[in-house]
Amino acid sequence: MMNHSSCCQHPDITHGMWLDIDAVIAENRNTPGALITVMRKCQNIVGYLPAALLDYIARGLNIPGSKVFGVATFYSYFSLTPKGRNTIKVCMGTACYVKGIKESIDRISAKYSVKEGKTSEDKRFSLEAVRCLGACGLAPVMVVNADIHGSISADKVIDILDKYS
Amino acid sequence: MDKPRTQLMLCGGTGCHSTGMSAFKETLQQALEKENLSREIRIVETGCNGFCAVGPVMLVQPEGIFYQKLRPEDVPELIREHFLKGRPVKRLFYTEPASKESIPDMNSIPFFAHQQFRVMRNKGLIDPEVIDEYIARDGYFGLAKALQDMTPQQIIEEVKVSGLRGRGGAGFPTGLKWDFAHKSPGDVKYVLCNADEGDPGAFMDRSVLEADPHAVLEGMIIAAKAINSHQGYIYCRSEYPLAIKRLEIAIRQAREYGLLGMNILDTGFDFEIDIYQGAGAFVCGEETALMRSIEGRRGMPRPRPPFPARKGLWDKPTILNNVETLANIPQIMLNGGKWYAGVGTETSKGTKVFALSGNVNNIGLVEVPMGTPLRTIIYDIGGGIPERKKFKAVQLGGPSGGCIPESLLDTPVDYEAIAKVGAIMGSGGVIVMNENTCMVDMARFFMDFIQDESCGKCTPCREGTRRLLQILEKICNGNGEPKDLEDLVELSDVIKNSALCGLGQTAPNPVLSTLRYFRDEYVAHIVEKRCPAKRCVSLLRFEVDPDLCKKCGLCFQVCPAHAISWEKKQIAVIDKEKCIQCLSCYAGCRFDAIL
């Protein structure tokens, strides 16, 4: 059994997190094809997947590190960089686009100095353009953390986002 | 338990959840308890009702009265007037936009009246988290018949007779697919359900999973019996948390009832289903890519043959069916293939669920018989285009589909007829676009999506779609040349003929269909350096036309950058130094006076 304290240290991963990560790896070690499941659970624990953690998962599951890195960069769910305190997901589905979500995105970018796919310098917001959320009845749609906001407009977004600090 | 006199079927779909259903439900629950009505009147949280545009919605049974846009403030009036005195609250009825008529009865609302429910027959009528309610609506009867009275060959024959074709997009005959897998040698076989609904503008699979998860499970178990498989996986997007939760509950309940697991219904047949969460890659909707993803690898397609029916997941014979396809199976078993084929066209049988959205009045899910004209879907069910705008195009089939103009709206929905006009049936997203949509910009939007989601394995798709995007961006930025149009067509042909998988082969469709029907818009961008729909920022002048300006000041009011100066009875002036080019004034002006 691997022991995290002897092999890796990371400023963003606490002792408790390492224990949870070990449990996830131990549970899935013998399941074929469990890599994506393990990575999802580990990202839920830490918030993102730092390189040291990818290495750790690779050794834990006995998979080459290159393969783990390949999978991590292939799927949009995985993030290799830390996220802001609040994550804004703007839906880039066709219905939202036709109804003018681009204007809202431009306004968010300008107001909070955060580019699409990036995190603002003060770590307040991460802005992600995501694939269709399937809530086209509410288009244009924005999800902040777990809150869904429908029928947004360039004017409304700032009022909504100002409430998240 | 006392039998309640009234049941309140409250929609618990994602749409209604986000428009405040939870707050309404809580207030209603408390009020019913306070009035001592909670034994007589029961609240049932159902799956998606389909009419997302007017959520949160509630159906009062057995009267069939439909309430819309409910707020917690409406609760006292509903209780006092309707539930105590029996006088339904008229102001919460649906109002027909054209005639301004209030319609209390759900089945009389045009949105519902033109539909025929098969896949969605239980939506809004059962609690998806209670298996007994599904069984009460003939649920698992089809499974019992298939397992107890039919051989695998008979099951496959019945599906073949039904004429059911894959609802995920390509339209491959389901019975034939099962037959191939049935005949493939091997002890280990897999049944997969594709719930990685990724097409922008398609949300029918999510709604089926949320409203009627047992129908999908039942379809999978019947498929397993047909090909003699003992393990199934549902590959679901992680963006659909509610669907995953309901599936987990449904699987647990089915196991408890002996409908899943070992020795199902005492017939000696074993089958297990697990849920596999996707990690966000559009290409994983492609069958071979999806199988790679379940194996824990990068979701990249591989050349076929060998087809998955021979070598699929872990190189074992595998069938992959879409959510909607599987949800059709139980009724085909119960009522027979002939019954199923009773509606539809020559080549496309049964019904199809469409997700209607965009610039249309009634947004939501629509289930109609195959062969229904697009015009019926958009105008009779969808209620037409809002704000007196003009219809421009309807986009069918997502990024692999195409845009269909007004002149072809009488095209019936049928796999072949749709393909003939340059789009595809796809998973069934129908996005209506009004005159403010720029078709060159739409082609650019889809190409941006595709080049981002291309897995990068084959060169035509990886490099070709990127190059198409560059040309389209050049045109949108006002730097287009006449030769670009030829290049677009030539490059599109190469990609279509040489890409590895369905994603690449259909990627040029949005470009080709817009070029076919809206060539004049491309020409306006390239030759006149003008965007007729006023969406392409680089081609706009941000000036007020003094002849058209009615001096109303609306643009002045909406400008967030205070870049417009205006006084009463004066023509507005835009200060280009301050202007942030946000297009608010274009949207605000009612006289088309900003150039």
Is A97 an 8 Å CB contact of chain B?
Answer: yes
**B531 in a domain, yes or no?**
no
Query: A156: which DSSP letter?
Result: H
CB-defined contacts A:B, below 8 A: 143
The one-letter amino acid at B198: G
Among the listed residues B523, B402, B506, B389, the one whose alpha carbon sits nearest the alpha carbon of residue B453: B506
CA trace torsion B396, B401, B406, B407 (10° rounding): -130
Q: Is B333 helix (H, G, I), strand (E, B) or coil?
A: helix
Strands B102-103 and B573-574: unpaired
**B256 in a domain, yes or no?**
yes
Looking at beta carbons, which residues of chain A come within 8 Å of B238? 40, 77
Check whether residue B287 and residue B179 sit in a common domain. yes
The one-letter amino acid at B432: V
Of all residues in chain B, the percent with pLDDT exceeding 70 is: 100
The yes-or-no verdict on residue A2 having pLDDT over 80 is no
Q: Do B201 and A136 touch (CB under 8 A)?
A: yes
Query: B123: which DSSP letter?
Result: T
Q: Do B202 and A134 touch (CB under 8 A)?
A: yes
Among the listed residues B593, B527, B586, the one whose alpha carbon sits nearest the alpha carbon of residue B559: B586
Residue in this structure with the two tokens 């105008």, named with its chain if needed: B379
Q: Which domain holds residue B323?
A: 131-340
Residues A92 and A133: beta-carbon distance below 8 Å: no
Check whether residue B397 and residue B518 sit in a common domain. no
Nearest CB partner across the interface for A93, out of B15, B19, B201: B201
* B67-79 pLDDT, tens digit each: 999 999 999 999 9
**B506 in a domain, yes or no?**
yes
Task: Please name the residues in contact with B198: beta carbons below 8 A apart, sequence gap of 6 or more.
Answer: A131, A132, B237, B282, B284, B285
Of all residues in chain B, the percent with pLDDT exceeding 90 is: 82
Residue A4 pLDDT class (50, 70, 90 cuts):
low
Check whether residue B13 and residue B82 sit in a common domain. yes
The pair phi, psi for residue B399, each rounded to 5°, is -65, -15
Check whether residue B444 and residue B481 sit in a common domain. yes
In A, residues 18-57, which contact B (CB 8 Å cutoff)?
32-37, 39-40
Check whether residue B371 and residue B262 sit in a common domain. no
Strands B190-195 and A147-149: unpaired
The yes-or-no verdict on residue A108 having pLDDT over 60 is yes
Asked which of B391, B412, B434 is the last residue of a domain, the reply is B434
* B495-548 pLDDT, tens digit each: 999 999 999 999 999 999 999 999 999 999 999 999 999 999 999 999 999 999
pLDDT at A28: 95
Nearest CB partner across the interface for A138, out of B15, B199, B293: B15
**B119 in a domain, yes or no?**
no
Q: Do B358 and A35 touch (CB under 8 A)?
A: no
Q: How many CA atoms lie within 13 A of B416 on its CB side?
A: 6
Number of CB atoms found within 10 A of residue B86's CB? 8
Check whether residue B358 and residue B260 sit in a common domain. no
* B459-470 pLDDT, tens digit each: 999 999 999 999
Q: Which CATH class is domain A86-161?
A: alpha beta
Q: Do B358 and A106 touch (CB under 8 A)?
A: no
Domains of chain B: total:
5
Check whether residue B77 and residue B166 sit in a common domain. no
**B93 in a domain, yes or no?**
yes
Q: Do B357 and A70 touch (CB under 8 A)?
A: no
* B12-40 pLDDT, tens digit each: 887 888 788 999 999 999 999 999 998 99
Q: Do B296 and A33 touch (CB under 8 A)?
A: yes
Asked which of B401, B434, B467 is the last residue of a domain, the reply is B434
Q: CA–CA separation, A38 vs A34, rounded Å?
A: 6
CATH at B87? 3.40.30.10
* B336-390 pLDDT, tens digit each: 999 999 999 999 999 999 999 999 999 999 999 999 999 999 999 999 999 889 9
Looking at beta carbons, which residues of chain A come within 8 Å of B357? 94-95, 136-137, 139
CA distance B462 to chain A (A): 14
- Which tokens belong to B384? 């037409």
CATH at B562? 3.30.70.20
Arithmetic mean of pLDDT over chain B: 93
Check whether residue B358 and residue B398 sit in a common domain. yes
Among the listed residues B534, B560, B525, the one whose alpha carbon sits nearest the alpha carbon of residue A106: B560
Is B114 an 8 Å CB contact of chain A?
Answer: no
**DSSP result, B349-360:** BSEEEEEEEES-
Q: Do B560 and A133 touch (CB under 8 A)?
A: no
Q: CA–CA separation, A22 vs B475, rounded Å?
A: 53
* B194-248 pLDDT, tens digit each: 999 988 889 999 999 999 999 999 999 999 999 999 999 999 998 888 899 999 9
From A6-20, B479-493, B509-523, the region with the lowest mean pLDDT: A6-20
Check whether residue B469 and residue B546 sit in a common domain. no
In A, residues 115-144, which contact B (CB 8 Å cutoff)?
130-139, 141
The one-letter amino acid at A157: V
**B120 in a domain, yes or no?**
no
**What's the rounded mean pLDDT across residues B449-454?**
94
pLDDT at B486: 97
Beta bridge partners of B319: B191
Check whether residue B137 and residue B90 sit in a common domain. no
Is A71 an 8 Å CB contact of chain B?
Answer: yes
**DSSP result, B216-263:** HHHHHHHHHHHHT--EEEEEE-TT-HHHHHHHHHHHHHHHHTTSSEEE
**What's the rounded mean pLDDT across residues B303-323?**
96
**B245 in a domain, yes or no?**
yes
* A31-75 pLDDT, tens digit each: 989 999 999 999 999 999 999 999 999 999 999 999 999 999 999
**B345 in a domain, yes or no?**
no
Domains in chain A: boundaries = 4-74, 86-161
Q: CA–CA separation, A81 vs B488, rounded Å?
A: 37
CATH at B383? 3.10.20.600
In B, residues 355-374, which contact A (CB 8 Å cutoff)?
355, 357-359, 363-364
The one-letter amino acid at B144: A
Is A113 an 8 Å CB contact of chain B?
Answer: no
The pair phi, psi for residue A156, each rounded to 5°, is -70, -35
The yes-or-no verdict on residue B581 having pLDDT over 80 is yes
CA distances to B139, B230, B331 from B143, rounded to whole Å, are: 8, 15, 10
The yes-or-no verdict on residue A8 having pLDDT over 70 is no
pLDDT at A144: 94
Rounded to the nearest 10 degrees, the angle between the axes of helix B459-476 and helix B483-498 is 160
Is A92 an 8 Å CB contact of chain B?
Answer: yes
Strands B190-195 and B318-322: parallel
Q: CA–CA separation, B427 vs B431, rounded Å?
A: 12
Beta bridge partners of B262: none
Q: Do B203 and A134 touch (CB under 8 A)?
A: yes
Q: What share of chain B is helix, strand, coil (3-state, %, to 5)?
A: 45, 15, 40
Among the listed residues B153, B112, B115, B134, the one whose alpha carbon sits nearest the alpha carbon of residue B47: B134
Q: CA–CA separation, B543 vs B549, rounded Å?
A: 11
Q: Which of A136, A142, A147 to mutate to test the interface with B (most CBs of B within 10 A)?
A: A136
Q: Which of A40, A49, A74 to mutate to test the interface with B (most CBs of B within 10 A)?
A: A74
pLDDT at A3: 56
Check whether residue B418 and residue B453 sit in a common domain. no
CA trace torsion A49, A50, A51, A54 (10° rounding): -30
Check whether residue B388 and residue B512 sit in a common domain. no
Asked which of B340, B372, B391 is the last residue of a domain, the reply is B340
Task: Please name the residues in contact with A43: beta carbons below 8 A apart, sequence gap of 6 or more.
Answer: A49, A77, A78, A79
